[in-house]
Structure 1
Amino acid sequence: MPVADLTGPFSLLVVDAVGPLPETERGNKYILVFVDYFTRWAEAFAVGALDSITFVDAMVNGVVSRHGVPSRLLSDNGRNFTSDVAKSFYQTLGIKKLFGAAYHPQTQGLVERFNGTLIGMLRMHVDEAQTDWDVYLPRVLFAYRTAYHEALGDTPFFMLYGRDPVLPLDVAFLNLGKKWKSNEVAQY
C-alpha cells in the first residue's frame, strides 16, 4: 500500500462495508465505513442497502461535504465500488481509484481492523435484539476518534483538528482551559 505518498488528511481514504447486521427500526442493515490513512479518522454511516447510489450518497454527503474530495480511494472489488455509477463519480471528482487484491483483505487492513473495533464497541451498547446499533453509531465514533492511538502518538481528533476536543466530562468538571499541544501551526 502506497502509504509513503500520504500528503495530508484525506490524501488516501479506504472504504469498506460491514454487514448485514440485524435490521434496525430505521431500516438499516449495513455500515459504510471510511477511514483516512493519514489521521485514522473514521466516518461510518448506517445504511439500508449497499448499492452504488447509497455509496455515492454517503461519500458526497458524509465525506466530501465535511472533509473535501480525497485524492485516492481504496476499496475491495465490490459491485457498489466498481459500477458505472461509481466510476463516473470518481472521474467527475478526480479521485484516483485503487482496488485491493482479490481474496487479500490485508490490503485494506486499516479499515478491517477498525471494523472489528467498531463492532466490539457497538456490542457494548446495543439492546438484546441488537436492533438499535445505528442509534449508538455516532457516540461510538466519537469515542474512537478521541481515543489515543499508539501508531499515531495521538488521537485521530487531534491529528485532524490540531487540538484536543472538549469532552462532556471537561464541561461537567469545568476543565475548560485551553491545552494546545503546539502553539505554532508549522509544528502541526
Structure 2
Amino acid sequence: MDLVGPLEKTTWGHQYRLVVLDYATQYPKAVPLRNTASNTIAKELMGMFARVGLAKEILTDQGTPFLSKLMRDLCVLLHIHTLRTLVYQRQTDGLVERFNQTLKVMIRKVVSRDGKDWDTLLPYLMFAIQEVPQASTEFSPFE
C-alpha cells in the first residue's frame, strides 16, 4: 500500500492517490483522496475490504498516516499483520512502486492540459489495467 502525492489538485479537491496492490493476484486499486488523514485511509481500506475481503498482511512504507494509532488499532481489530519497508529501501515495495510509475505514465497520456481531471479518469485507467494479463500469472487481475 502506498500514498502518492501531493499531486495537481483536481476540480473535486483530490490531491493524493491511495494505491493498494494484492501481491498474489496483482489486483491493483487506486483511489483519489483529498487528504492523507488516517481516518480517510482507514475508511477507504474498509470499503475495499467490504468488496474483496480482508487482507492477511499489509506492507507500507514508514509514512505517518500508516503509523498512526488508528491504523494500528484497525489492523489489530481485523487481525491484519503489518509490515513496514525500511527507510531508504523503497525497492522492498517494488511492485507497488512499479505500478505507481505505470499509472503515472498512463495518467499523463490522458489527462487534460491543466491536469485537474486525473481523478475522474482514474476508474477508467484502473479498469484498463485490471483487464491486462500479467506476465507472472498469465491472468488478468480480474480473473
Bin of the TM-score, shorter chain as denominator length: over 0.9
Q: Displaced runs of 4+ in structure 1, greater than 2 A?
A: none
| Residue 31 of structure 2 is aligned to residue 45 of structure 1 | yes
Is the partner of 1:85 in helix, strand or coil? helix
Unmatched 5+ stretches in structure 2: none
Is the partner of 2:142 in helix, strand or coil? helix
Identity of aligned residues (%): 35
The CA distance in 1 between the partners of 2:45 and 2:101, in whole Å, is: 21
| Residue 10 of structure 2 is aligned to residue 24 of structure 1 | yes
The CA distance in 1 between the partners of 2:66 and 2:22, in whole Å, is: 17
* TM-score, normalised with respect to structure 2: 0.97
> Which of 26, 29, 42 matches 1:56?
42
| Residue 135 of structure 2 is aligned to residue 154 of structure 1 | no
Q: Which residue type is aligned with residue 107 of structure 1? A: T
The CA distance in 2 between the partners of 1:150 and 1:43, in whole Å, is: 18
The CA distance in 1 between the partners of 2:106 and 2:134, in whole Å, is: 16
Aligned to 1:136: 121
The CA distance in 2 between the partners of 1:58 and 1:77, in whole Å, is: 19
The CA distance in 2 between the partners of 1:84 and 1:64, in whole Å, is: 19
The CA distance in 2 between the partners of 1:155 and 1:88, in whole Å, is: 33
Q: Which residue type is aligned with residue 52 of structure 2? A: H
Q: Which residue type is aligned with residue 45 of structure 2? A: M
User: Which structure is higher in RCO with an 8 Å CA cutoff and minimum separation 6?
Assistant: 2
